[in-house]
Structure 1
């Protein structure tokens, strides 16, 4: 059973930007189901917001920086934090918070697969945390060289084993 849920960069500027993420509605529904299970079990929910410099489209407080309004999280009860790098750990106090709460196993979901999901999974393991990656709980956009579906499939395969326990979201409990 997982200790905590970490949701990465489910923000208006990424979720509803000019290039929509692959299967975004399904991924949002999957994440909201995991939020419901975590809440029911009393597991903490951490919400990362990628934050750009002042004046950028995703500067703190800007409309695009806000968490997508249909994501079932609440700043009053969930643990929000800002990051400026692909890793949720670099320059944040996430590792300290997790250790203080004696949380060891994280479910990691959100966006973008090849950047913040990949980096955070790898760094979490380097820091001694165990990671569960729902193969159907993260997404990205098509690139000039690869479709989003291919990027997701590649990262699910590459991260599985050495870095994460890869499962379907339906198999996860808190």
Structure 2
């Protein structure tokens, strides 16, 4: 069984000063994946990135709230993380195993940080990692535009670190 893992779709990133590339499409894709997971009875986990006390994303900050554009129905597991990998210093791996998940479908923000780190860690921990090719994003940087960052990570991660699929092709 596969679980859906949604990374950092939180107010401070989605509605912050640097809008993620294709943000509206990403929100639609994540909602569609959550619907597919629910229809199949697959667990849904949402990670929120939390920073240290005194930072803009300190515990309890409104910037860490899951964005209201995601259709949460109450059966999802929302958890906090403090490192780029959703597995580092969290109970995610144990919770996935406890619900019988052998694989994790990864979507969300930001491609070059948390998406990348989580894909690599999932495979290292023995999970079948599936990255939704059109289900992650980031913002432009001073070195590279977001489209290139996403394309680069899709090409780099596919194979050794995860299996790459398009959202419309994935079935739980």
| Pairwise TM-score range, normalised by the shorter structure | over 0.9
Query: What number of residue pairs does the alignment pair up?
Result: 172
Q: 1:96 aligns with which of 91, 94, 97?
A: 94
Could you tell me which residue of structure 2 aligns to residue 46 of structure 1? 45
The answer to whether structure 1 residue 163 and structure 2 residue 161 are counterparts is yes
Cα RMSD over matched residues?
A: 0.9
Using the TM superposition, name which of 120-129 and 94-103 deviates more. 94-103
Name the SS of the counterpart of 1:135 in structure 2: strand
> Using the alignment, how far apart are the partners of 1:60 and 1:169 within structure 2?
32
> CA–CA distance in 2 between the matches of 1:100 and 1:37?
21
1:73 partnered with 2:76: no
Deviations 1:31-63 (A, max 9, x none): 100001101111100000000112221112211
> How many angstroms apart in 1 are the aligned matches of 2:54 and 2:32?
34
Structure 2 residue ranges without an equivalent (≥5): none
Q: Distance in 1 between matches of 2:76 and 2:157?
A: 27
Equivalent residue for 1:138?
136
* SS of aligned partner of 1:137: strand
Distance 1:10 1:120 in 2: 15
Shift of residue 144 of structure 1?
Answer: 0.2
DSSP 3-state at the match of 2:168: helix
Name the counterpart of 1:30.
Answer: 29
Q: 1:21 is paired with a residue of what secondary structure? A: coil
Matches of 2:158 and 2:72 in 1, distance apart? 28
What residue in structure 2 maps to residue 108 of structure 1? 106
CA distance in 1: counterparts of 2:8 and 2:71, whole angstroms: 14
Write out the 4+ residue segments of structure 1 that deviate beyond 4 Å after TM superposition.
none
Residue number in structure 2 paired with 1:125? 123
Q: CA separation in 2, counterparts of 1:168 and 1:96?
A: 27
Give 1:156 deviation, angstroms: 0.1
